[in-house]
Amino acid sequence: MDHHQFAGRYLTRLKKVMDNFDLVAFDRMVRMILDAYARKAHIFIMGNGGSGATASHLACDINKGCCIDLDKKFKMMCLNDNMPTMLALANDISYEAVFEEQLKNFFEVDDLVIGISGSGNSENVLRAVGFAGTHGGQTIGWSGFGGGKLAAMVDLAFVVQSDDMQQVEDAHMVAAHMIMQSVFAALHQAATTITC
């Protein structure tokens, strides 16, 4: 295999994905996150595998990077970060319940729930988003592959136009960093770049 050529082909395909980035949905996501912050609502986020890593990364960036120097803080929680809780729920109930059951502990009306599923069909994400939707919450779904079931059940769907899981996850990670910087700029009315 010619790895140089492979990398070039990968980046060419990824550029096409990013050229179709949904800027309208992005704008709405940032506004929903800022609105949750303004009303002191919780923001819950979750995913499996690479999507779980993106969820954890965004929670870190929002909780620390966007407001460490501000008196008012975000209340963002990544539901896939507490492994003992996840394992206990998976073992005693089902893996499909690991996020929904945590929401039952913490969720309040008007909280914001963000579910990330590359396929849009991860049952545990769907169940948590469904719970939020039927209990007075706001919901955002991140997916690819045409959106899957997730896109049809959320208040706002951010769907990456790709059927390549890694490139869907690439675009989701870019979106996470863009959200962090957009939120930071909105709260600080300042610079366009942040160094960590």
In the prediction, which pLDDT does 196 show? Answer: 45
Question: What is the domain extent for residue 104?
Answer: 3-188
- Domain for residue 194, yes or no? no
- Predicted TM-score (pTM) of the model is 0.95
- Domain for residue 122, yes or no? yes
The percentage of the chain sitting over the pLDDT mark of 70, rounded to a whole number, equals 96
Instruction: Say if residue 184's pLDDT is above 90.
Output: yes
- Domain for residue 17, yes or no? yes
pLDDT tens digits, residue range 98-131? 999 999 999 999 999 999 999 999 999 999 999 9
Q: Compute the distance between CA of residue 141 and CA of residue 125 in angstroms, rounded to an integer.
A: 9
In the prediction, which pLDDT does 13 show? Answer: 98
Q: CA–CA distance from 25 to each of 18, 163, 166, 179, 196 (Å)?
A: 14, 19, 21, 11, 26
Q: In what order do the strands lie in the sheet with 75-78?
A: 75-78, 42-46, 112-116, 138-143, 156-159
- The tally of domains found in the chain comes to 1
Q: Looking at residue 7, which CATH number applies to its domain?
A: 3.40.50.10490
- Domain for residue 196, yes or no? no
pLDDT tens digits, residue range 77-104? 999 999 999 999 999 999 999 999 999 9
Q: Which amino acid is at 6?
A: F
How high is the mean pLDDT of the chain? Answer: 96
